[in-house]
Amino acid sequence: MAAEFTKKTGIQVEFSEQGRLGYFESVITQLVAGADTFDLAQINSTFVTELAAAGAIEFWDEHLNDGKRTNLAEYDVKDIPVIYRYNGKITMIPTDA
């Protein structure tokens, strides 16, 4: 997927993989500190509400509803069975159900 994304956008993708042990603490610490270490992270946590309240994460709405970033002809946010929101804005889309 990274190669296809780079081909379509010209943006180089760099993966930083880490095991589960220490991952949560590492990501949360960087988010709360405002580090620019990464643009996207997978958070397997119920701590997302606190991160949203602290302004440490960006909401998904503008990205999901932007025709330049999302193929709106093939994608409808209403098709996602569970969406987590904070103050009416999308904070998280589950990867596992």
Residue 75 CB neighbours (<10 A): 13
In this structure, the answer to whether residues 74 and 89 fall within a common structural domain is yes
Q: Are residues 39 and 62 in the same domain?
A: no
Is the same domain home to 42 and 63?
no
pLDDT tens-digit map of 3-52: 998 999 999 988 878 787 888 888 888 888 988 888 887 776 677 888 88
Question: What is the spatial distance between Cα 52 and Cα 49, in angstroms, rounded to a whole number?
Answer: 5
Instruction: State pLDDT tens for residues 52-96.
Output: 898 888 898 888 888 888 888 888 878 877 788 899 998 887 766
Residue 89 is predicted with a pLDDT of 92
Q: Are residues 52 and 62 in the same domain?
A: no
Count Cβ neighbours within 10 Å for each residue of 38-60 and write b for 16 or more, e otherwise.
Answer: eeeeebeeeebeebbeeeebebb
Domain around 49: 1-56
pLDDT of residue 10: 92
**Domain shared by 51 and 80, yes or no:** no
**Residue 88 DSSP one-character state:** T
Q: Are residues 84 and 69 in the same domain?
A: yes
Look up the pTM and report it. Answer: 0.56
Residues 71, 39 within the same domain: no
